[in-house]
């Protein structure tokens, strides 16, 4: 005969069961944001003629990806093109092109991630080196934030893949930008990358200025409405430049480690770039990573696949832009993940509020 539990022990057991249930439900909630990078506006040299040197995504391209169930687009552009002179107003014509594209995306119900695609540099000078100071970077973001403040379907991605900049220097710049964004009254969700291309595989590795996984815990947001943005590719060197996915296991381990890190530190994460070729081994690895994110929605806010865009050639290994009316093989996996069950509507609505 089993001994009966005392009341305190029964209550503790019930509490533990509820906690396990809550964690399980959170893990299975799924990611809010599922989408793609629509690249092209970051092409060319600053000052190039629009739609000759660079191009924003077309209405047709936007409609295609929305039809696949995607609800988010990461939109790369050049800092120098939007702000030709540091500390000066944004270029009106370029800002209009950016806003017009945001409006097109919004028509299809898509959330937009604004992405200054500059690798922590302005006119080839790194942030932290005069005249591209942390203050200059923050001033740029203050101007941009004002234009999109209060638009919950617009997410602020601080910077694409900072590199060749020490982690502590980058943290100072990121925090300066966050402070100025919030000072404008903008409460939009902010995505904060680390340095060293913000690789998930290297997040906890030591480097100049310290490891991202340690240093970036110093991010300070008065609104506490931010997530860490990481990138991860599936080839052997995690660069995304090879068609073979010999780094499948490494990529999955990196994403798994990010999940553990985020949960340990009560953080949220977003996979801003990842991509594979049409190789069967690659699409299998892609499916595994997307399944992991879907099953760990308590920490993973979402993902945007790299890459698509009207000007990307069919020969580009990672490209999922359709050609001649045919879907790329990666799209089969992406569409399934995009159409997977979403969290409760209220949960996703409050993420960017």
Catalytic-role residue among 161, 229, 249, 264: 161
Contacts of residue 197, Cβ cutoff 8 Å, sequence gap at least 6: 161, 162, 163, 231
Active site residue 161: yes
**DSSP readout, 183-218?**
HTT----EEEE-SGGGBSTTTTS--TTS-HHHHGGG
User: How long is the chain?
Assistant: 353
d(C-alpha 160, C-alpha 197), whole Å: 8
Is 273 designated active site? Answer: yes
- Angle formed at CA 349 by CA 308 and CA 192, multiple of 5 degrees: 55
The two beta strands, 154-157 and 226-231, are unpaired
Angle at 306 between CA 58 and CA 45, to 5 degrees: 65
Out of 94, 139, 229, 273, the active site residue is 273
For the annotated catalytic residues, the residue numbers are 161, 273
């Amino acid at each position: 005969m089993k001994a009966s539990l005392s009341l305190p022990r029964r209550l503790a057991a019930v509490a533990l069961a509820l906690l396990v249930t809550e964690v399980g439900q959170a893990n299975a909630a799924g990611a809010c944001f599922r989408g793609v990078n629509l690249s092209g506006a970051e092409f060319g040299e600053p000052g190039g003629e629009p739609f000759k040197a660079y191009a924003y995504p077309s209405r047709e391209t936007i409609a295609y990806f929305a039809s696949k169930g995607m609800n988010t687009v990461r939109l790369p552009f050049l800092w120098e093109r939007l702000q030709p002179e540091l500390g000066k107003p944004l270029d009106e014509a370029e800002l209009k092109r950016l806003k017009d594209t945001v409006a097109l995306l919004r028509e299809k119900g898509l959330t937009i991630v604004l992405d200054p695609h500059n690798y922590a540099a302005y006119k080839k000078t790194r942030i932290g080196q005069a005249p591209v100071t942390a203050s200059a970077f923050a001033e740029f973001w203050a101007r941009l934030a004002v234009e999109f403040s209060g638009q919950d379907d617009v997410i602020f991605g601080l910077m694409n893949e900072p590199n060749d900049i020490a982690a502590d220097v980058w943290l100072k710049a990121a925090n300066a930008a966050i402070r100025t964004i919030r000072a404008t009254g903008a409460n939009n969700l902010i995505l904060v990358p680390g340095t060293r291309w913000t690789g998930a595989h290297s997040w906890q590795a030591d480097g100049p200025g310290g490891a991202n996984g340690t240093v970036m815990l110093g991010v300070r947001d008065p609104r506490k409405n931010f997530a860490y943005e990481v990138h991860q590719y599936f080839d052997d060197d995690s660069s995304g430049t090879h068609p073979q996915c010999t780094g499948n296991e490494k990529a999955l381990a990196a994403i798994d480690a990010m999940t553990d890190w985020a949960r340990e530190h009560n953080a949220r994460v977003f996979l801003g770039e990842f991509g594979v070729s049409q190789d069967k081994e690659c699409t299998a690895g892609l499916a595994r990573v997307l399944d992991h994110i879907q099953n760990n929605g308590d920490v993973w806010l979402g993902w945007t696949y790299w890459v698509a865009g009207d000007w990307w050639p069919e020969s580009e290994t990672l490209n999922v832009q359709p050609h001649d009316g045919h879907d790329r093989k990666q799209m089969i996996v992406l569409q399934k993940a995009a159409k997977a069950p979403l969290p409760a509507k209220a949960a996703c609505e409050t993420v960017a509020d």
